Amino acid sequence: MAYFKWKGVDLHGNECSGKLFATSEKNLCNQLLEREIALITYKPSRQWFSFRPITIDEKINFFRQLAVLLDAGVLLPDALHVLSSLLKNVSLKEIVLSLKKHVLSGESLSKALEQYPGIFGSLMVRMVRVGQESGKLSSALDRLSSYLESTQSFRKKLKSAALIPVVTFGFFLLITSVIFVWIVPRFESLFSSMKKELPFATKTILQTSRFLRSWYLLVFIAGIILLSIFVHWYSKTTKGKNILTNLFYIFHGWEHFLSKKQLSMFCTLFPCF
């Protein structure tokens, strides 16, 4: 979802402008039409100070608070309006206001959530749809928030378990780099003056030291960075999210069977979790 700076004209012919979050030009145009404004021009914009990504914790709070309001007998559009006034995240606030407008126009909440696939995944939409069709929307929202909470808790456990091996591995790399970059080269001239065939292990150490002091190391690091950027981008796509979700299900099911040592090894190999 992008942030747009727009200019338009209202029913009285007055020019007006502003900024809105929208999934596309059509979505932006529809939002303005709902405010009785005709879109003239628009361009992508950025809001550096108030914009921030929508976290999983904010989604959990949103679904849970919405469930509480619905349980209290508050109508869905009114509940969305109340929640929008309490939210501090600008992007989520705009989305909730948009959800309210979709619901007021006659759409179901699940249909409105489908307008933001990058924010609300297919599982969230399906659970909300099931809750609406069964007449137990508040119960479905509460279960959805509990599921997201357990998912978030599991990820935090994995990250906490990964902290110690990652820090240890970082110190290991630091010490190894100092040895290969500053200490080993001092012995290289000594070995070359001996004019004898060096053992294979010694040759390997010297070649590794030369590699770490050459331009090849920078190329290797650049390749790792590019690979990390690609993996991060791919994890944002629908296919990438599905792969990560499947991996989560697999290891979430193994959580009670893996030992602490095995979990630490997994976290070292997959620190992104």
Q: 57, 11, 56, 4: which is closest to 33 by C-alpha?
A: 11
So what's the pLDDT on residue 52? 62
Phi-psi region of 135 (alpha: psi -120 to 50; beta: other; left: phi over 0): left
- Please state the domain extents for the chain: 2-44, 56-147, 158-269
Q: Is the dihedral of CA 167, 172, 175, 177 positive or negative?
A: negative
Q: 158, 166, 181: which is closest to 258 by C-alpha?
A: 158
Q: 205, 201, 223, 202: which is closest to 213 by C-alpha?
A: 205
So what's the pLDDT on residue 202? 79
Q: Is the dihedral of CA 143, 62, 28, 38 positive or negative?
A: positive
SS3 152: helix
For the chain, how long is the longest CA-to-CA vector?
A: 94
What's the average pLDDT block by block, 10 residues per block, for the chain (273 residues)?
Answer: 79 83 77 83 65 82 94 92 84 86 90 87 90 92 92 86 85 87 80 75 83 82 88 77 64 47 46 43
Architecture of domain 56-147 in this structure: Up-down Bundle (1.20)
So what's the pLDDT on residue 258? 45
264, 265, 268, 271: CA torsion to nearest 10? -70
So what's the pLDDT on residue 65? 94
Q: Residue with structure tokens 């608070």?
A: 65
Token couple for 137 = 């929307």
Token couple for 31 = 């939002």
Strand partners, 44: 4
Give the Cα separation of 191 and 170 in Å (integer). Answer: 30
So what's the pLDDT on residue 111? 92
Strand 37-44's sheet: what is its strand order? 15-22, 2-10, 37-44
So what's the pLDDT on residue 59? 93
